[in-house]
A and B are shown apart, each in its own frame.
Chain A
Amino acid sequence: MKSRDFVVRFAGEGGQGVVTSADALARAAAQVGYRVYTFATFPSQILGGPTWTQVRISNEPVLSQGDQLDILVAFNRYAYDHHVGELRKGGVVIYNSEDFILGENGDRRFGIAVDQIAKSVNNPRAANMVVIGAVAQLVEMPLRYLEDFVKKRFSRGRAEDAQVIESNILALAAGAATAMGSGFHLAELEPPKPPQYEQILLRGNEAVALGAMAAGLNFYVGYPISPATTILVWMENNLVGKGRFVHQVSSEIEAISAIVGAGYAGGKSMTATAGPGFSLMSEGLGLAWMAEIPCVVVDVQRGGPATGLPTKTEQSDLQTVLHPAHGDVKLPVIAPGSVEECFYAAAHALNWAERYQGPVVLLSEMALAERSQNIRKPDLAKVSAERRSIYVGMNGYQRYDANELSPMPLPGGPGAYVANGSEHDGWGDTTHLPERHIRGTERRFSKLGLLDDGTFETEDADLPVVMMPWGGSKGPAREAYEQLRARGVKIGWVYTMYLHPMPSKLHKLLREKELVIIPELNFQGQWSSILRSDGIRAESIRQYSGLPFRADELAEKLMARIRQGQERKVHA
């Protein structure tokens, strides 16, 4: 029997090689042309704690981390007890027999003395290779794929390269031999079908950082916070350069204020944070909206409220990012749904900020930020770097006088004005006149009309019932959709990452639907409630466990909801 894809989960204590094993397997598979998708979750502590990483490998594009496990690699007893329930029927457990013993081999499980084997090949650091050698053997993935990976990774121009490569290859073979000796094997993985285009392998947060840089980002400040810290670290390493500024600041309040100051002075500025930091940025975002200053805030959502679940995923900041501040404010929000979209969404967010002269939120989430995927290498020719319209006339300009967007003066140039967080007149001077507040409010909202260039996906959208996931739930929702279609269920597909302002054509389409089902990771059903207030018959399928959707479970819930609708119709 052959199989198109398989799912393996590595679970154990932080520091046992969970992440390195998963990364090595994913990269090795991606190098020969498989599509890979990883999902990582770890505790909020420096060392140790229960951690696991899941890798899905397929010869077709993969959209989610996969549902049930084909293989569980348990590095300790706790990991075995907590994850074995997700093993599919016929799946196999590989466990670390140096850490615990499960009695006689059998029952679709076998132990490996990983460290002992690694030592026997004279490379104690090759334990992860023993593990992935065993995993590969179970699905009959040719060992040469892994050997090629080892050669590539350890050819570092050092004297010991040859020895390191040899010992790692021996470790792979030893792992494979143990698996073979166990007598278990799963369906053979079909050979890869490498795509015709150039690929890169990266995480969501890295894609955000690269996309922002591609659109001309030249000012980044941030404050460490899970799961957004990796963007700060990336920027400190890579954005540093002439005419660009990057720095770790003392708080999120300092971060938002600084990017507003930089945006005012002409910079393309950005910061990244998570829920708690975003809450602290509320007032500063209100200032950017009121004073009309371009800047971008990335919110990598985690479980909330308060400190919440710092290292788990959730989609519960949506209402907050749309209305972060007091008063009449509704911020533009772009929520990418895949690692590839993270790149283009970040570039688009910067362009929107420049175009409408105001703050834009890029809404990501933990599961997307930490997910690593091989994607088509972004084509830089497709990324534009928009520049705001800059005032070039004489002094005495009334920057805020027009009813809509007007060119923005830059310090040092003509047109000195006061960027004012109080309601203001054309010069930017404070005023309380009713007609000024009316005009100012209308001006600020009218500029959103400049952002109606968002794209969207549809499939069978003429059907009366459609599903419309948002953000990182896109992948599992798409898989669930395909499962439903395979079962003959009549349901359409709608998706956009441009949540606000939503493409006007899409808005029109949604208003015509009998039912729009929204799978989302929050308790309140935030997106559907926003859509309902906008005259769209939307309902949520909600999950709030700190984990992403599983496609099979979601498909069942969608089925149940559709049946319920049909029964209602019959009774009516």
Chain B
Amino acid sequence: MSAKNPEYDFKWCPGCGDFGVRRALEFALIARCQKYELPMTTNVVVAGIGCSGNLVHLLEGEQPFGIHGIHGRTLPLAFGVKMARPELNVVVVAGDGDFLSIGAEHVGPQAQRNLNITCVVMDNGVYGLTKGQSSPTTDIGVKTSSTPYGKIEDSVKPLSLYLELGVSFIASHFSSKPKELASLIEQAMDHKGLAIVHVQSPCTTYNDTYELLKGHKAKGIEPMAVPVPDGYDPTDRKQVEELLEKTTIPIGVIYKNERPTMDVRFAAMVGKVKERNVESLLKSYAL
């Protein structure tokens, strides 16, 4: 809403990966609305706290609904929206700190429910908004403002974590290619179940990883971000586990598994239950 709103004064740093993610999400939402002939207002973007969460205010063009809640609670907020109104398209946008540190406890339960929403996680490997502290995806040994002598914890491997927790659609990409990323987000929104698109979204101020991700021939740096191999089958768990053993960051759809979603499971249960109303319940307490 920033274009028409002079009061809103938040800015991402020049070159921030989140610009590309925002563009990709705009593409994906527009494509979805066109494909299903739905108004933009049938989309709800639930944003976390951090640089990435501001995406919900920076979306341009026709506006979806949004929630900019509290730190770490995007998933349970989205769960409430989705189960109250299963027909809405709900998209979570959050950073690695929000989603994988304070909010990590919520990934498992939604994966077990196979809640039918899409999460776009912007991973910059650092807490940017609070000015450069270590995050769950910061590598061991790295010096940040809160790890002045080097980080002594192991880093989280997000894609392996999602797989282990039972997330039914996992994709991975890089913020520099918004069109490709948009296509992954669209696939994620079409997937029936909990879909996570994990995006490498570099922080140009505290953790500029562009060169590492893209590689640099002259400097002899091999790219970290590598597309999944030809013929890769994301529905084959064995192939997925082998892929995630590699030290590079795979790009593409990593894992896909079809099983009933939470709203479908709940509706099936309701179908079997005899519905009660207040009057009959009051009668059941008669003496």
A residues near B, CB below 8 A?
27, 30-31, 198-202, 206, 210, 213-214, 218-219, 221, 238, 240-242, 245, 247, 249-251, 253-255, 257-267, 269, 283-284, 286-287, 291, 374, 377-378, 380, 395, 409, 411-422, 425, 427-433, 436
Chain A residue contacts of B5, Cβ below 8 A: 425, 427, 429
Q: At the interface, yes or no: B73 with Cβ under 8 Å from chain A?
A: yes
Interface of A is mostly: mixed
Most A CB contacts (10 A, CB to CB) among B57, B64, B67 go to B67
A416/B105 contact (C-beta < 8 A), A257-B76, A378-B282, A411-B44 known? no
The reply to whether B41 and A269 contact each other, CB–CB distance below 8 Å, is no
The reply to whether B76 and A253 contact each other, CB–CB distance below 8 Å, is yes
Extra contacts besides A257-B73, A267-B84 (17): CB < 8 Å: A200-B286, A219-B80, A245-B266, A247-B83, A249-B79, A250-B108, A254-B109, A255-B76, A257-B80, A261-B78, A261-B80, A267-B85, A269-B80, A291-B67, A411-B81, A412-B42, A418-B66
Interface residue from B73, B109, B281 paired with A210 (Cβ < 8 Å): B281
A429/B7 contact (C-beta < 8 A), A31-B287, A250-B105, A377-B282 known? yes
* Closest-CB distance, A32 to chain B (whole angstroms): 9
The reply to whether A265 and B76 contact each other, CB–CB distance below 8 Å, is no
Cα distance A321–B163 in the bound complex, in angstroms: 40
Cα distance A198–B285 in the bound complex, in angstroms: 11
Count the A-B residue pairs with Cβ separation under 8 angstroms: how many? 193
The reply to whether B68 and A261 contact each other, CB–CB distance below 8 Å, is no
The reply to whether A266 and B66 contact each other, CB–CB distance below 8 Å, is no
Chain B 272-287 interface 0/1 with A at a Cβ cutoff of 8 Å (1 = within): 0101101101100111
Q: At the interface, yes or no: B147 with Cβ under 8 Å from chain A?
A: no
Chain B residue contacts of A436, Cβ below 8 A: 7
Cα distance A429–B62 in the bound complex, in angstroms: 15
The reply to whether B8 and A261 contact each other, CB–CB distance below 8 Å, is no
Q: Please list 29 pairs of residues, one from A and one from B, whose beta carbons are closer than 8 Å in the complex, sorted by A's number.
A: A27-B287, A198-B286, A201-B285, A213-B281, A238-B276, A238-B281, A254-B109, A257-B79, A257-B80, A260-B69, A261-B67, A261-B78, A264-B67, A264-B80, A264-B81, A265-B85, A266-B84, A286-B70, A377-B286, A395-B63, A411-B65, A412-B39, A418-B47, A418-B67, A425-B7, A430-B8, A432-B9, A433-B7, A436-B7
* Closest-CB distance, B116 to chain A (whole angstroms): 14
A240/B273 contact (C-beta < 8 A), A395-B41, A429-B5, A430-B10 known? yes
Interface residue from A201, A264, A413, A425 paired with B41 (Cβ < 8 Å): A413
Interface residue from A27, A249, A269, A291 paired with B84 (Cβ < 8 Å): A269
Chain B residue contacts of A287, Cβ below 8 A: 69-70
* Closest-CB distance, A285 to chain B (whole angstroms): 10
The reply to whether B73 and A416 contact each other, CB–CB distance below 8 Å, is no
The reply to whether B287 and A258 contact each other, CB–CB distance below 8 Å, is no
Q: Which residue of A lies closest to B71 (CB)?
A: A283
Cα distance A436–B273 in the bound complex, in angstroms: 49
Chain B residue contacts of A30, Cβ below 8 A: 287
The reply to whether B279 and A380 contact each other, CB–CB distance below 8 Å, is yes
CB proximity to A under 8 Å, residues B214-236: none
Q: List 7 tightest A-B contacts by C-beta distance, closest first.
A: A261-B80, A257-B76, A258-B80, A418-B66, A267-B84, A262-B84, A200-B285
Q: At the interface, yes or no: B244 with Cβ under 8 Å from chain A?
A: no
* Closest-CB distance, A25 to chain B (whole angstroms): 14
* Closest-CB distance, A348 to chain B (whole angstroms): 15
Chain B 1-33 interface 0/1 with A at a Cβ cutoff of 8 Å (1 = within): 110010111100000000000000000000000
Q: At the interface, yes or no: B254 with Cβ under 8 Å from chain A?
A: no
Please report the total number of B residues contacting A with Cβ < 8 Å. 56
Q: Which residue of A lies closest to B85 (CB)?
A: A265
The reply to whether B68 and A414 contact each other, CB–CB distance below 8 Å, is no
The reply to whether A265 and B73 contact each other, CB–CB distance below 8 Å, is no
* Closest-CB distance, B199 to chain A (whole angstroms): 21
* Closest-CB distance, A216 to chain B (whole angstroms): 10
Cα distance A291–B47 in the bound complex, in angstroms: 14
Chain B 98-112 interface 0/1 with A at a Cβ cutoff of 8 Å (1 = within): 000000011011000
Chain B residue contacts of A257, Cβ below 8 A: 69-70, 73, 76-77, 79-80
* Closest-CB distance, B208 to chain A (whole angstroms): 26
The reply to whether B41 and A414 contact each other, CB–CB distance below 8 Å, is yes
Interface residue from A240, A254, A415, A420 paired with B68 (Cβ < 8 Å): A420
Q: Which residue of A lies closest to B79 (CB)?
A: A258
Cα distance A238–B266 in the bound complex, in angstroms: 14
Interface residue from A210, A249, A414 paired with B76 (Cβ < 8 Å): A249
The reply to whether B70 and A411 contact each other, CB–CB distance below 8 Å, is no
Chain B residue contacts of A264, Cβ below 8 A: 67, 77, 80-81
Cα distance A291–B46 in the bound complex, in angstroms: 13
* Closest-CB distance, A407 to chain B (whole angstroms): 15
The reply to whether B76 and A254 contact each other, CB–CB distance below 8 Å, is yes
Most A CB contacts (10 A, CB to CB) among B40, B77, B81, B84 go to B84
The reply to whether A245 and B1 contact each other, CB–CB distance below 8 Å, is no
Chain A residue contacts of B7, Cβ below 8 A: 425, 429, 431, 433, 436
Q: Which residue of B lies closest to A383 (CB)?
A: B278
Q: Which residue of A lies closest to B285 (CB)?
A: A200
Cα distance A221–B76 in the bound complex, in angstroms: 11
Interface residue from B9, B62, B84, B105 paired with A265 (Cβ < 8 Å): B84
The reply to whether A260 and B77 contact each other, CB–CB distance below 8 Å, is yes
Interface residue from B54, B273, B278 paired with A430 (Cβ < 8 Å): B54
Cα distance A253–B102 in the bound complex, in angstroms: 12
